[in-house]
Amino acid sequence: MTITLLGAAGDVTGSAYWIEEGGDALLVDFGLFQGVKMAEDRNRLLRGLNVGRLRAVVLTHAHLDHTGRLPLLVEGGYQGPIYATPATRELTELILHDSARIQISDLDRVNRKRQRQAKPALEPLYTPEHVSTVLSLFRALDYEQVEEVLPGIEVRLVEAGHMLGSATVELTVRRGVPPRVLVFSGDLGPWGAPIIRDPVPIERADVVFLESTYGDRDHRPLAETIAEFKEILRAAVEQKGKILVPTFAVGRAQVIMYVLAGMVHDGSLPKFPAFLDSPMALEATRIYSRHPELYDEEMLELLKTRHKGPCLQTVTPSVTADDSRALNDQAGPCLIMAGAGMCNAGRILHHLKQNLWRPETWVVIVGYQGPGSLGRQLVDGKKMVSVLGERVAVQAQVRTLGGFSAHAGQADLLRWFGGMAASGPRVILTHGEERGREALAAQLKQRHGIEAERPSAFEPIEV
């Protein structure tokens, strides 16, 4: 059996494992490379990749960096099954349609420019039709249900605690004696994250592909982060300022709403106007509310004591462009959550342009900000930034809260691995920058005497 990483080797995007044995191939995830131009070659279907051999695809979770290249398989002729939890299917539908829409609108702009330069137009990576075909191939697989996806190869999905529907993929290969167990951690969540359940460690593995996004550090504890968030909100409410929270639509937005609802309900924060200015986050919230079977005990307890889910009770949805524009006239104090999470697109840009120059504005950064993004410039303390083509002075107060991460920190990665450590698996570290992989490898060596491997993309791994 040969396994090849088609991405997320030494970085964190483009997750994909191509598994080949006896002429059959299986894919675990097929994510987009982000932070590069979508139309770049890295995001095209790879030359030499024999899609004709592909028999099944299994998904760990819906994030674009794990699902964003799936439509390319359809273009390449793939018509086999794509296995995922039901929640992952629903969220993937939302995320891939959004991705196709963004590509078309981005390319429109690029192609108008290319036309003026007498250059040929670029094609989008895929269209909404490709996305619809991809969705028709999905087969629901519940957690803990064992399914034979290929003769002699069984798959089981286990809770990964990273986002709604997220899973660790366990493959049991019964082609030969004794059977071998391959585990793909997927993105692992931290223990104690709001709304969703904690990750469930797996007891035995022969080989484990372990994510290492935060292999070199721990996040600030959630309780401290919530306390700091509350202090910021109190100060802003007192100043009658606007609080802008750039947020990722799936996962982070729901956590922020949950935390906000908690503060208002326990009386530690006065009720004040809060808006979710993101149609995509609203749709993601609807999907979250359809899956109470995936909630943790705390969330279920909350649902029992209140009739509605806590998420949207304290937050007003802002759906249309007019709704969004109307928020310009909304007096403070108020809180506005809008995408994109890194302030590189979307409605948050309008709110930043309108409010960054006002000293009574607060910007609260709750997620990762990629190098070069507007969000990163704000975190780095730039005093003048360019927003929607206009220079705007930053007089707002900018605060960063690191504890809302959906990823396990180093201690939780080791806790998860501890569940299978006694079975002495071969460990292959993926989905992390080099410093994350190195630090996690050092810990695994020190605690378990394991020499973890750190392969490059396209380096065949014989199992």
Q: How many helices (H) and strands (E) does the chain have?
A: 13, 21
Smallest separation, CB 31 to Zn ion (Å): 9
CA distances from 296 to 115, 159, 161, 192, 379 (A): 53, 11, 10, 9, 32
Residue written as token pair 């695809």: 57
Rank residues 187 and 412 by Cβ distance to Zn ion and give the closer one: 187
Pairing of strands 207-211, 242-246: unpaired
Rank residues 63 and 350 by Cβ distance to Zn ion and give the closer one: 63
62 token code pair: 């819906």
Rank residues 43 and 213 by Cβ distance to Zn ion and give the closer one: 213
Rank residues 124 and 186 by Cβ distance to Zn ion and give the closer one: 186
| Dist CA 302 CA 265 (whole Å) | 11
Rank residues 64 and 302 by Cβ distance to Zn ion and give the closer one: 64
193 token code pair: 């994250």
Q: Find all residues with CB under 8 Å of 218, minimum gap 6, and list them.
A: 409, 410, 411, 412
Report CA Rg, the chain: 22
Smallest separation, CB 147 to Zn ion (Å): 23
Q: Find all residues with CB under 8 Å of 174, minimum gap 6, and list them.
A: 152, 153, 154
Stretch 145-164 residues interacting with Zn ion (CB under 5 A): none
Smallest separation, CB 213 to Zn ion (Å): 9
| Dist CA 85 CA 294 (whole Å) | 11
The residue type of 284 is A
| Dist CA 400 CA 386 (whole Å) | 20
Whether the CA torsion 319, 323, 328, 332 is positive or negative: it is negative
Rank residues 95 and 348 by Cβ distance to Zn ion and give the closer one: 95
Contact pattern for Zn ion over residues 173 through 192, marking x by CB under 5 A: --------------x-----
Smallest separation, CB 192 to Zn ion (Å): 18
How many residues lie near Zn ion (CB under 5 A)?
2
Rank residues 63 and 89 by Cβ distance to Zn ion and give the closer one: 63
Smallest separation, CB 162 to Zn ion (Å): 6
Contact assessment for residue 72 and residue 32, using Cβ atoms and an 8 Å cutoff: no
Angle CA 231–237–242, to nearest 5: 110
Stretch 325-384 residues interacting with Zn ion (CB under 5 A): none
Smallest separation, CB 67 to Zn ion (Å): 10
Rank residues 355 and 410 by Cβ distance to Zn ion and give the closer one: 410
| Dist CA 402 CA 424 (whole Å) | 33
Taken as a whole, the chain contains a residue count of: 463
Rank residues 187 and 277 by Cβ distance to Zn ion and give the closer one: 187
Smallest separation, CB 441 to Zn ion (Å): 21
Contact pattern for Zn ion over residues 38 through 77, marking x by CB under 5 A: -------------------------x--------------
Contact assessment for residue 181 and residue 197, using Cβ atoms and an 8 Å cutoff: no
252 binds Zn ion (CB under 5 A): no
Smallest separation, CB 342 to Zn ion (Å): 15
| Dist CA 386 CA 146 (whole Å) | 52
Q: Find all residues with CB under 8 Å of 337, minimum gap 6, and list them.
A: 245, 246, 247, 253, 256, 257, 274, 275, 276, 277, 278, 281, 315
Rank residues 198 and 277 by Cβ distance to Zn ion and give the closer one: 198
Contact pattern for Zn ion over residues 119 through 138, marking x by CB under 5 A: --------------------
Smallest separation, CB 63 to Zn ion (Å): 4
Rank residues 93 and 187 by Cβ distance to Zn ion and give the closer one: 187
Smallest separation, CB 407 to Zn ion (Å): 8
Buried b / exposed e along 328-351 (16+ C-beta atoms within 10 A) = eeeebbbbbbbbbbbbbebbbbbb
98 token code pair: 């959004």
Smallest separation, CB 184 to Zn ion (Å): 13
Binding positions for Zn ion, rule: CB under 5 A:
63, 187
